[in-house]
């Protein structure tokens, strides 16, 4: 049986990271409510520092390191959002950040990492290449590896987004969170279980990178082979620690096609006047594809990030 953090532990994490993060707004849209036939509450982590929810977990992980662990900096591998988040979190504590990024990472995310002082080493766009290059980097530098999602401090940091959502919007029927490695979804599920036990939790995933959906159904992790999706932030394979929470606390994981994800992204930009990336729009996309499951419900959607290359929009 998985050891679930306590409400006190999650509130302690929220207090720890509060001086560094934004308490992001919860927005609504009457026109999107009409489209979906439900009452929606959007937790706008696209407005978070570093442009994504990842800054919560990275900040908690960095701020809980002991002084003797920090002398040689921190390191990670990431397609972008965790890389930027860790770079900024390290900068806030005066640490070096060594970042392994795939060669095909979006330019906007590479520039963000560089802007926050992260030292980038490029790798091939495979998990094996990421891990091999990272291991070499850690051996060379002695930096502490902060995993993007397979880390309890990261997961508890991500849980604070749902905690804030539930504080502002009690009695939700459901919360929908994107899922890739599983840090945000597992954190969301932990907070829902602790602070709103009547609220179900659903993961949202691209159909072309549906390992979490298949893993939940199978009861074991089914590795992601060749993800094909516009959602560059949702191409990572599901982590073992997040999966232990997800299989216990998450009610379902639904998928949506890239075409529907682009449609959802466009709707959010057009109706709400805010910028979200495809990986964030997947939460609305699953509602558009599975509308019958959500009719007349009060639903929280976590918009996970807003790091988009404005020169290469998908429409």
- Residue-wise pLDDT tens digits, 234-287: 988 899 999 999 999 999 999 999 999 999 999 999 999 999 999 999 999 999
Mean residue pLDDT of the chain comes to: 95
The pLDDT of residue 93 is above 80: yes
Question: Yes or no: is domain 55-145 CATH 3.40.109.10?
Answer: no
The whole-number pLDDT of residue 107 equals 81
Q: Domains of the chain: which residue ranges?
A: 7-52+151-303, 55-145
Q: Which CATH architecture has domain 7-52+151-303?
A: 3-Layer(aba) Sandwich (3.40)
> In percent, how much of the chain has pLDDT > 90?
85
Condensed to tens digits (0 to 9), the pLDDT of residues 210-223 reads 999 999 999 999 98
The whole-number pLDDT of residue 142 equals 94
The pLDDT of residue 127 is above 80: no
pTM above 0.75? Answer: yes
Buried b (16+ CB within 10 A) or exposed e, 265-304: bebbbeebebbbbbbbbbbbbbbbbeeeebeebbbbbbbb
Name which residue leads in pLDDT, 244 or 106: 244
The pLDDT of residue 133 is above 90: yes
The pLDDT of residue 292 is above 80: yes
The whole-number pLDDT of residue 236 equals 85
The pLDDT of residue 106 is above 80: no
Do 7-52+151-303 and 55-145 share a fold? yes
pLDDT band for 108, please (50, 70, 90 cuts): confident
């Amino acid at each position: 049986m998985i050891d679930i953090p306590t409400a006190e532990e999650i509130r302690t994490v929220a207090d720890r990271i509060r001086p560094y993060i934004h308490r992001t707004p919860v927005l609504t849209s009457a026109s999107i409510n009409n489209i979906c036939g439900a009452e929606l509450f959007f937790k706008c982590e696209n407005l978070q520092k570093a442009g994504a929810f990842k800054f919560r977990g990275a900040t908690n992980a960095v701020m809980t390191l002991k002084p003797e662990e920090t002398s040689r900096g921190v390191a990670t591998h990431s397609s972008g959002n965790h890389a930027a988040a860790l770079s900024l979190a390290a900068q806030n504590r005066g640490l070096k950040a060594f970042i392994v990024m795939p060669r095909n990472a979006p330019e906007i995310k590479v520039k963000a990492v560089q802007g926050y002082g992260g030292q980038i080493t490029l790798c091939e766009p495979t998990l094996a290449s990421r891990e091999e290059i990272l291991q070499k980097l850690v051996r060379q530098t002695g930096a502490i590896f902060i995993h993007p999602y397979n880390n309890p401090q990261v997961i508890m940091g991500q849980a604070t987004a749902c905690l804030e959502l539930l504080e502002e919007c009690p009695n939700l029927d459901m919360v929908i969170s994107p899922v890739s490695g599983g840090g945000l979804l597992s954190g969301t599920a932990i907070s829902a279980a602790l602070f709103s036990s009547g609220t179900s939790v659903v993961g949202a995933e691209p159909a072309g990178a549906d390992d979490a959906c298949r893993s939940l159904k199978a009861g074991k992790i089914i590795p992601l082979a060749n993800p094909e999706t516009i959602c560059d932030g949702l191409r990572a394979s599901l982590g073992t620690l997040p999966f232990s929470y997800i299989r216990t606390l998450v009610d379902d994981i639904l998928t949506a096609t890239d075409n529907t994800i682009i449609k959802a992204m466009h709707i959010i930009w057009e109706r709400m006047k805010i910028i979200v990336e495809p990986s964030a729009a997947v939460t609305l996309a699953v509602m558009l594809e599975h509308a019958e499951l959500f009719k007349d419900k009060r639903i929280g959607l976590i918009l996970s990030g807003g790091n988009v290359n404005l020169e290469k929009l998908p429409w």
